[in-house]
Amino acid sequence: MMIFNYKDYTAQESIDLMITAKKIAMYDNLHTQIGFFPIGKVITHLLEPLSNAFNWMPSKMDVGIPAGWRELKPAELNLPNSAVDRFGYYKVTSPVTGKIFPSQGLQSHILGEFDDHNQLTKITLSWTGTNDLVDMIDYTQINNGNIAKHLEPLLEAVKDLAIKNNLAPEDIIITGNSLGGGMVNINAAAKETLAGGFFKDSNYIAFASPNIHDDGTVLNIGFENDGVFRITGDATSFIGAILDMKPLFVNADKDYNSTLNNIISFDDPHSLSLVGGGSYLSKSILNVPISWTPHVMNMVTDSWERIAASKFYPLLNKDSVVIVDNLSQLMRHTKWVGDIYQNTGHYGKPAFILGNEYGNMLKGNDAGDYISAGGGNDKIKPGLGADVIDGGTGTDTLMLHGFARDWDIYNVDNFVYFRAKDGTGMKKTESIEKVEFAKECYKTFDVNDQNLSYESGFIFKTKETVQYKNAVIGTDGDDDLTGSVVFGLGGNNTLHALKIASLLVGGEGNDILLGNDGNDELYGGEGNDFLYGGKGNDILFGGIGNDIFHFDKNSGGKTDIMDLNQYAHDKDTVQFTSDMFKDVCDVLLHARDVKGNVVISDAQNTITIHDYSIDLLIQNQVLSVV
């Protein structure tokens, strides 16, 4: 299920819904701050032009209303003019202060979308985030549900307008950011009773909400390193929420079914190791410079749109690790962007690393990353493992370890593959213009159609080329191919190795990769793949999907399974035939934990499952005997 998928909407409908909700929620939240300051106008007319002039922010700061939408006036909602305060917000009575502060406290904007005939087609109710000190008093009420009944008057007005215009509950978006996101969750929790249950099938999209209603009604969007997002969680009282926090009001970073759980805003403060993202206090709600910067980035950057526009988007789910480059001009040329901190709970797991329209420095780990650089002249430094890299536009440089001679390179269907001869992985790349190798860093090779080429700039010029290797290449259909180097491309392919050392690359689709007697390398790629190494010393990368690593009585030698269940929501299986082991218990009797890996051995085989444990084998029910 893709990361922004919501209810039964298609992937694109869900994205469109999210973007509309985001634009309106941020417009609402930034309309006025501190009771009088028009921050939205300041951003639009001053800060955005300045940022644009110096390429300062990671993206344009668009805080306007989506095209076709406008604010609804009190008369259109059959409300008196007094329903709106002097700043244009609809007023919500506070459960604590009541109506003591007429232009401060809980608020809302209500907007409508109109077609070319000025007919109302959709309504969005945006609960306003914190924009003055009085709002903070109501923080004590967001977990106990006491706010819900105070939402009723505005909901009744929206209900009446919807019915008058023949709109269904599904034509209504309820959104909000920060405290407003919290009110979205409160609204959703009481949806069966508020306004007679009219809004139970409406669309609830919340951003950076502190509290979470987790029955699937709400799509809760936010950054993991935002100190506000999820901080009060699903506690039923304010005191309970505080007790659930870590000491010093540190966000417990609890995962929920309805939340995006591992999205990092890699912004300037986050990049500062000792005091930034690497410190215990980085997620403390009191650490304003560090933990609140992602909260701001959520409002003023295109982070969520960038995720949705990524060509890797179909591979993302709510638990995928996604690193979004939000560095400013100050830092983007000196800081490597990646999943760099060990205190996240997902350090060392595969990550999706997304750049922006400027020149980025993007760095992978050793687990098989997906790196999308975007625009600009980027530097990309992958780690070990099976990586997929898209340079985007601009002149992009891939930085690899070793010498050029340490790699076999293939040009396959507009992708250039770099396979490390030492078995540490392969890089599938596109839109990469230049390559550097760490042990000959004085050379920068150009990536051409036929080869890599380097020409020195000295008086006596020398030219060096690295030729691409030959391979058997499939089609986008279902192919049955045999060779020592085989690329399957699209479709559901069956790839056969020769008796000598072979390289099989499945690509997209549900592929069958059959090794032979040599020392083979198998890469399943995307899809639910079947990998069989055969005899010899084999290296198996399943990739994204529910893969089967199969062993039978003809298997033999040393096999390394490199990425068992490393990608979020993968359900891989290590499968043995009954002529090897009687049952799963028998397999476990032949297994041992060794330096962070699991080793399963019998007389003919030594199988190493990297970055795994026996406890995880049992917990995730990974083993199978057939």
What CATH number did the domain enclosing 122 receive?
3.40.50.1820
Question: What's residue 1's pLDDT?
Answer: 78
Quick one: average pLDDT of 27-42? 86
Task: Say what the pLDDT of residue 136 is.
Answer: 85
| Same-domain check for residues 542 and 563 | yes
Tokens 């079914």 belong to which residue? 257
Note the pLDDT of residue 343: 86
Residue 168 inside a domain? The answer is yes
Residue 303's nearest CA partner among 241, 414, 230, 229 is 229
pLDDT at residue 100, rounded to an integer: 67
526 and 607 part of one domain = yes
Residue 103 has pLDDT above 70, yes or no: no
- With a CB cutoff of 8 Å and minimum separation 6, the contacts of 347 are 339, 340, 341, 365
pLDDT at residue 621, as a whole number: 97
In a domain, 541, yes or no: yes
**CB neighbour class for 539 (10 Å; exposed up to 12, middle 13-18, buried from 19):** buried
Is the same domain home to 73 and 209?
yes
3-class SS of residue 338: coil
- What burial class does residue 34 get, using C-beta atoms within 10 Å of its C-beta: 0-12 exposed, 13-18 middle, 19+ buried? exposed
| Residue 159 included in any domain | yes
Nearest of 18, 107, 17, 113 to residue 65 by alpha carbon:
113
- Is the distance from CB of 504 to CB of 498 less than 8 angstroms? no
Q: Give all strands (DSSP E) within 421-484, no chain letters.
A: 426-430, 434-437, 445-447, 451-455, 463-467, 472-473, 480-483
pTM of the predicted structure, to 2 decimals: 0.95
Q: For residue 551, is it within any domain?
A: yes
Residues 8 and 81 in one domain: yes
What pLDDT score does 108 carry?
Answer: 96
One domain, residues 516 and 417: no
**Is residue 609, in this structure, part of any structural domain at all?**
yes
pLDDT band, very low/low/confident/very high, at 102 (cuts 50, 70, 90):
low
Provide the pairing of β-strand 485-487 with 472-473: parallel
pLDDT at 536 over 80: yes
Residue 168 and residue 24 share a domain: yes
- Residues forming beta bridges with residue 445, ordered by sequence position: 435
- Specify the number of domains making up the chain: 4
**Confidence at residue 274, expressed as pLDDT on a 0 to 100 scale:** 76
One domain for residues 447 and 545: no
User: Which structural domain, as residue segments, surrounds residue 579?
Assistant: 472-625
**CB neighbourhood size of 288 (10 A):** 12
Q: Helix, strand or coil for residue 196?
A: helix
pLDDT of residue 456: 84
- What percent of the chain has a predicted confidence (pLDDT) above 90? 89
Do residues 326 and 266 make contact, with C-beta atoms less than 8 angstroms apart?
yes
**Co-location of 557 and 430 in the same domain:** no
- Per the domain annotation, does 254 fall within a domain? no
Q: Which of 539, 557, 561 is nearest to 548 (CA)?
A: 561
The continuous run of DSSP H or E covering 341 comes out as none
Least confident of 125-134, 170-179, 476-485, 558-567: 125-134
Tell me if 248 is assigned to some domain. no
The conformation of residue 46, written as its DSSP 8-state character, comes to I
Do residue 502 and residue 407 come from a single domain?
Answer: no
Contact of 547 with 609, CB cutoff 8 Å:
no
419 and 480 fall within a common domain: no
Mean pLDDT, all residues of the chain: 95
| Radius of gyration of the CA atoms of the chain, in A | 27
Q: Residue 120 to residues 19, 70, 123: CA-CA distances in angstroms? A: 19, 10, 8
pLDDT tens-digit readout, 394-403: 999 999 999 9
pLDDT at 122: 98
Average pLDDT score over residue span 290-315? 96
Last residue of one domain, picked from the residues 427, 443, 467: 467
Where is the domain boundary, 450, 467, 484?
467
List CB contacts of 161: < 8 A, sequence separation 6 or more. Answer: 72, 76, 77, 78, 120, 123, 167
Out of 436, 467, 498, a domain closes at: 467
Whether 100 and 10 share a structural domain: yes
Could you report how far apart the first and last alpha carbons of the chain are, in Å? 29
Of 486, 456, 444, 455, the residue nearest 469 (C-alpha): 486
Residue 119 resides in a domain: yes
Decide if 429 contacts 418 (C-beta within 8 A): yes
d(CA 307, CA 4): 9
Number of H helices, E strands in the chain: 11, 38
**φ/ψ of residue 503, rounded to 5:** -120, 120
